[in-house]
Amino acid sequence: MANNMIDNLSKFLLESAKQVEEQVDAELAKLNEMDDDDFEKMRERRLEALKKAQKQKQEWLSKGHGEYRELPSEKDFFSEVKESKKVVCHFYRNSTFRCKIMDKHLALLAKKHVETKFIKLNAEQAPFLAERLRIKVIPTLALLIDGKSKDYVVGFRDLGNTDEFSTEMLEWRLGCADVINYSGNLMEPPTSTQKPHSRFTKIEKKTIRGRGYDTDSDDDD
């Protein structure tokens, strides 16, 4: 029985190798049949694609992409969101330490993912938006596509429940919402390590201009 299994495996590997070889031969045959005009057309299409990509990048940069910016007021939110297809908005509070942790990661991702606009807004100065988007926990990331909120990252709960989550973990979470162009495997996060003693049991109540907010931070600055 063992010999039969080995023979079957050998046949399978030989057939697989033969199929790959045939595919390579077919591609080589296509290339051999191409003349100078065909190569020139291929080159022109490639150059056109590169020019188009560069033009798109410049358009994004002109709209404030590529950097992590704070909005002066909540009225600026609507114009910023309207002109960009994909937006990540961090609703923060100065007194919440975990907002500063989130800032660090978002600043890195803003430079890497120019296709998305990364902005932040002080929740204390945006009562209307916080109410409209139902922001109840600080920090919260509102993930918007085509001007509409698609998803939220509330605190660090989706990021391993730890202050030491990686930028890659946040990148994966944003990729799951399709708010960035993620090239990794969306079926599993970049790390499954979770610290067993993460301090997320205490919820502290704060009042901001007459309304209540929870904070995902055990201690404030």
CATH number of 152's domain: 3.40.30.10
pLDDT per residue, tens digit, the chain (221 aa), is 556 666 666 666 677 777 777 777 777 777 677 776 777 777 788 888 888 888 988 999 999 999 999 999 999 999 999 999 999 999 999 999 999 999 999 999 999 999 999 999 999 999 999 999 999 999 999 999 999 999 999 999 999 999 999 999 999 999 999 999 999 999 988 865 444 444 433 333 343 444 455 666 444 43
Residue 143: partners with Cβ closer than 8 Å, 6 or more residues away? 87, 88, 149, 150, 151, 152, 153, 174, 177, 179
Residues 122 and 95: beta-carbon distance below 8 Å: no
Measured distance between the N- and C-terminal CA atoms of the chain, rounded to whole angstroms: 70
Residue 75 within any structural domain of the chain = yes
Residues in the chain, total: 221
pTM for this structure?
0.70
Residue 118 within any structural domain of the chain = yes
What gap in Å lies between CA 130 and CA 128, rounded to an integer?
6
Residue 40 within any structural domain of the chain = no
Residue 95 within any structural domain of the chain = yes
Rounding to the nearest 10 degrees, give the CA dihedral for residues 132, 88, 86, 74. 40
The DSSP symbol for 151 reads E
Residue 68 within any structural domain of the chain = yes
Domain that holds residue 79: 61-215
User: What is the count of structural domains for the chain?
Assistant: 1
